[in-house]
Structure 1
Amino acid sequence: MTVPRTPHPPVTVSVFAQRLTATPRGARLARHLAQSQLHLWGIPYGSDVSDAVAAVVAELAANAVIHARIPGRSFELRLSLVVGSVRVEVSDTCVERRPPGPADVTPPHPLAEYGRGLVLVQELADRWEVVDREPPGKTVRAEVDVPKWLSLWRG
């Protein structure tokens, strides 16, 4: 007996990648590029997904600029629209400094001036991790789930 095949929609992955200077200006540009790209992919400005991804990109890009900057080297922003989520990857070439992973992030003292970036990523992203990359360096990867209604709306 043959089981009829159930048609599945094709899996489409859209990718955007850009190298940026490891400067505050490059970090700001990363956020703006992310929001523009999401809008092109049908995720409107001001939506929960767009705002969450923009904040995650801003924090990860700022960390790459502040904590992992190597003069003359850039960082890379990569966005992927996969089934059910937007994946954000920020990569740098610094191997000496590695951020804590999701299990090791602790909130800073309430009066501390710094230390909230990864706490925000932890709250806004549905999943995130720190992975090694080749050539030497690291990538912080975070995913923000796209609600089913938005996936259906996109077509």
Structure 2
Amino acid sequence: MEWIRDHAWEAWVGLAFVLAALELASLDFVLLMLAAGALTGAVAAAVGAGWVLQVVLAGVAAVAALGLVRPALLHRLHRSPATALGIERYVGMRAVVTARIGGHEPGAVRLDGETWTATADGGLAIEPGRSVDVIEIRGATAVVRPTAEGE
């Protein structure tokens, strides 16, 4: 017990490292917040606070981190937009007509470096070289509409 009293700040730092390492397995930010509390206990020990005060300060810091910091971290982590996967990622992309799309006859577009069969939304005729926006993917066919001028 005497070693812990004489080396309390080192014990707190060791506990913080163990908790931070265990956080790598859980990845839910709970153990990381407890590690922050342990670091607060280390600071209190380093400035000469008593054992009871060290534990109280570590507990208060851990609870505050769990209540204030963790929700903000989780919110930032989970607020990113969902990434479209598969063919849905092409919707909204810009393409260039490589073979005339006529009325109700399919043509071709260059989309993301690949040649796709394409039809025009509304049965429009679109000449080669024109920029188009992909509005839908139906099977292996891109449904496109001409890009507004000036875009």
TM-score, reference length from structure 1? 0.28
Structure having greater relative contact order (Cα 8 Å, sep ≥ 6): 1
Larger gyration radius, structure 1 or structure 2: 2
TM-score, reference length from structure 2? 0.28
